[in-house]
Every structure is written in structure tokens, then in C-alpha cells.
Amino acid sequence: MTGLLIRDCRPMGGPAADILVAAGRIAAIGPGLSAPAGTPVEEGRGLLALPAFVEGHTHLDKTLWGTPWWVNEVGPRLIDRIEAERRELARRDHDPAAAAERLARAFLLRGTTRIRSHADVAPEIGTRHADALVALRDALRGTMDIQVVAFPQSGLLVRPGTLDLLDRALRNGADILGGLDPSGIDRDPKGHCDAIFGLAARHGVPLDIHLHEPGELGAFALELIIERTLAQGMQGRVVVSHAFCLGEVARAPALHEALAAAGIALATTAPPSRPVPSVRAARAAGGRIFAGNDGIRDTWNPNNGPDMLQRAWLVALKNDFRRDDEMELAFRMVTDWAAAACGFEACALAEGQRADLVLLEAENPLEAVAVQPPRRLVVSHGRVVARDGAAVP
């Protein structure tokens, strides 16, 4: 049963209304709705109703969420972090399936129903992480939508055997192929791009490429990615994650134009500590951009959490959003823009849309971003899945 009547909430901060759900979708929104006998009723008590959120970039497989605090004594270099992770996950016999499910359910409690997660693929672990996320995706179908990116975290060409493993992960059901720093890590930008675009074409899957490379090196990688996206007709099916270089090079506006023309979307975590693509600049060029948390409570970083309102708030702070029309951009970074760029169902609060929604104490979506209040009720596919931060079985 996925029928539900939510009484007296304020969709998107508008006037009080009821929301009637049937078969997991919104059947009607308006005042004084009635429901078929036996339909469960939730009292909205004037709470704000928002569409559920989308996590556009995380790493479910590697989280330590839900386990005791991990004392981080890792050195500052990238290689220190990669090695610390490999060592620690092996030492604790890390179970990516259990870890990913804990974190996915933590997201759900906070109103996120759709997640794009990268999953490490590497010779040491084979396709174990990606396979675990594929199984989780299938197990949670109907409650959460999860996309699995088979991701060569430790490098692709520099780690022989990884390309075959990515191929196997895709055959095993991963949805998307990942790439990583063609020059900075793989030392062969042409070779890296040829490899991932070639494998994506063979499997007919989209691409999501981590690009940490700074300045003009990163801009060069963007050019290679744009050229191949156009040549291969992959417009609308390529995401570049991070793209810090767009916060650094003077020619960022032209690159944003070229990315928009190639239908390439940007995923940003809006980290306070370094330059990032400007949301305004991306949108001004007609481009697409959305938000993600990146790794959450892992050996890389203790600081991120499974709350997309918190990430939207960081997007607002990072972009110095203050006006209402700017705060709205931050909200869209974790809702419809993220859904559209990732290819998730959009779940707007409108008739016919899937009933994924959140009730909380705020006046409007902008205040929800500014304050990130506790989630009073979370509905996924028309079913109440969480109440006051606790799962509803």
C-alpha cells in the first residue's frame, strides 16, 4: 500500500494544503482533500513540505559512518590519504555492503531518496565495492534510488588490470563509469580519456569523471573531455565532478560555455578550503551544476554528513548567496537540478510526481537551507520511511 494523506502542510512554503498520495505518486495537492477509506493520514501541523533531496556525489562504499570515531593521523599528501585508506580498510576488514547500507539509511532519515555513489574499483579489491553497491541498489529499490559509478580511485592506466575490472564492474551491473585525473594521477591524459570514453561506449553507460587537477592542467582535461563528449555524441551523459580548475583559471567563462554546449554537467561539493566552479557562472553559460557531499566520515575526512540541506547551505556560503533568488539556486543544487543531471526522477511537489517528500519546521525552502531543521517526516515512494529522525519500518 502506498496510499497516504498528508493534512495541513505548506508545499514549498505556499498556503496550507493537503497532499494525497496514491500508488506512490502524488494524486492531488490542495485544501480539504479526502482519501479512500483506510488510507493512512499524517497531520502536517503546518510544517513546510519539500521534495526529497538528491545526493549527487558521495562514496557510500568507504564510509566509517556508524562505527566508533577513527583517530585520524594521516599525513597531508594525496598519497598519504590513499595509502591510509587502503591500510585501514584492510585492517578492519571493512565490509562495503554494511557500510554503504548504514550510510544510505542515514541519508534517508534526513530526507534524501536518490544517491549517486562512486565505488572504488582497484586490483587489491577487485569489483567487491562496486558489486556491493549494485546489490544494495537492488535491495533498496522502491525505497531509494542509487546509482553506482565504477570508480578507479587509485588510477586506471597506472594500475594495470583496473580497466578490465571496470569492465567487469559494469557487466556486474554498475550504472556509470568513473574516471580520475587523466594527467595528475594517470600521467597520460589522452590514454585515460580514450580508455574511459571507449569503455563507456562499449557498455552504453554515462561517465562521471573526478577532476581535481588545478589550473590550466585541469582546464586541459576539460577540453579533452569536451572534445570526446561531442565526438561520441554523449551530450547529457557526462558529469565532471569537482573541476576545481574552474574556480582558478581566468578563462573559466569560456570553459563553462563549452561545457554547456557539450551538455556536460558539473558536480561540486563546494568545499570552503579551495576554489570551485561558480554556480552563477555555470548557470549564466547555460550549463548544469549540482551538489554532493563527497566522502562522509571516512579515513579521508571526518567532517561531511549525510544531509543535503547542509550541503546546500555550504553551496550558499561558498557562492556568497544572500538574496532570495540566490538561496533558491542552492536549494535546486540538491533537488531538481541534481535529479535532472544525474537522470533521477525529479519528484517535484506536483500531481503525477513520485511522492518523495520531507516535512520540517521552516517558513520556506530558503529558510530550510539556512537553518537545516530536523526532518519531522520523510516519505519515499508514497510511504512514510522516517519520523523525527528514526526509521519507520
Which residues, 68 to 107, sit near its own copies by CB under 8 A? Answer: 68-69, 71-74
Nearer to its own copies, 31 or 374 (CB): 374
Alpha helical stretches, state H, the chain: 78-91, 96-109, 128-140, 162-171, 189-203, 215-231, 252-261, 279-284, 308-318, 324-332, 336-342, 365-371
Distances 173 to 107, 168, 208, 326 between C-alpha atoms, Å:
23, 9, 16, 38
Contacting residues for 125 by C-beta, under 8 A, at least 6 apart: none
CA angle 289, 133, 241 (to 5 degrees): 20
Nearer to its own copies, 107 or 197 (CB): 107
Nearer to its own copies, 335 or 364 (CB): 364
Q: How far is the CB of 376 from its own copies (least distance, A)?
A: 14
φ, ψ (nearest 5 deg) of residue 158: -75, -10
Contact 246, 216 (CB under 8 A): no
Binding of residue 164 to its own copies (CB under 8 A): no
Distances 380 to 23, 53, 281, 384 between C-alpha atoms, Å:
12, 11, 33, 6
Binding of residue 367 to its own copies (CB under 8 A): yes
Binding of residue 318 to its own copies (CB under 8 A): yes
Binding of residue 214 to its own copies (CB under 8 A): no
**DSSP 3-state percent helix, strand, coil across the chain (nearest 5):** 35, 25, 40
Distance CA 271, CA 62 (A): 19
**Binding letters toward its own copies, positions 29-68, x by CB under 8 A:** ---------------------------------------x
Which residues, 248 to 277, sit near its own copies by CB under 8 A? Answer: 270-274
Q: How far is the CB of 54 from its own copies (least distance, A)?
A: 21
Binding of residue 303 to its own copies (CB under 8 A): yes
Q: How far is the CB of 303 from its own copies (least distance, A)?
A: 5
| From 112-120, 136-144, 293-301, 379-387, span contacting its own copies (CB under 8 A) | 293-301
Binding of residue 302 to its own copies (CB under 8 A): yes
Using CB under 8 A as the criterion, which residues of the chain lie in contact with its own copies when the complex forms? 68-69, 71-74, 270-274, 297, 300-303, 305, 313-314, 316-325, 327, 363-364, 366-367, 370-371, 374
